[in-house]
A = this chain, B = another copy of it.
Amino acid sequence: MLKVYGMSSSGNCYKIKLLLEQLACPYRWEEIDIMQGSTRTADFLAMNPNGKVPTLELEAGVFLAESNAILHYLADETGFMPTEKLARAWVLQWMFFEQYSHEPYIAVARFICKYLCADHPRRAELPRLLERGYQALGVMEQHLAGRAFFVDERYSIADIALFAYTHEADVGGFDVTRYPAVRSWLDRVAGQPKFFPLTPT
């Protein structure tokens, strides 16, 4: 059975849990607490030398890292991945956009606001994170205006990848109400079968 090493409060790990639940794919979840250094142990680094969650164990001793590479692997030949070559390329385009232009700002702002004390020096990063994160939201808004989902007018792993931290952007200080197409898309994703949010309500 698939085994996911993940931290439940992480948006990158949530992506994998959401897809596995929506696929109705059996898996085991091993909770890893990054804050306690559990990704820096020799045992963990032997599974993923980059020391990050999520890490997927496909079978004993066979590992796959990087949340979006895991999504891509799991979604292959399912309804969460388009079949047409160009649509598949656009799915990857948006997943690379997420990891390069979105997550480093929106997820990091969330982390700082949620976990670090009010006078922590890393709060000095917030103005730049907000500026860059708003740029990413602007790109999403422009693309989603007149579209239901990111690719091919149907829900795919591109939506899961971008939803994970966008639906908690407010935690990092972003005002998502400025982006009506993004807001509507968030609602459409939240309306999918077997949906659940990152943070239990």
Contact = CB atoms under 8 A, between A and B. Distances in A.
Interface of A: 49-50, 52, 58, 62, 64-70, 72-73, 76, 85-86, 89-90, 92-93, 95-97, 99-101, 103-104, 139, 142-143
A117 to B, nearest CB: 21
Nearest to A138: B49
Given A85-B73, A85-B76, A64 B50 contact: no
Among A52, A69, A101, A103, chain B packs the most CB atoms within 10 A around the CB of: A69
B76 A92 contact: no
A96 B66 contact: yes
How many protomers of this protein does the assembly include? 2
Given A76-B85, A85-B73, A97 B65 contact: yes
A72 B89 contact: yes
Among A95, A96, A97, A99, chain B packs the most CB atoms within 10 A around the CB of: A96
A184 B72 CA distance: 31
12 contacts: A49-B142, A50-B97, A50-B101, A50-B139, A64-B89, A64-B90, A66-B100, A67-B96, A69-B89, A69-B92, A92-B92, A99-B100
Nearest to A101: B50
A66 B97 contact: yes
Contact of A64 (B65, B69, B93): B93
Contact of A86 (B58, B89, B103): B58
Nearest to A68: B96
Given A64-B93, A68-B96, A104 B101 contact: no
A114 B105 CA distance: 25
A103 B76 CA distance: 27
A52 to B, nearest CB: 8
A137 to B, nearest CB: 12
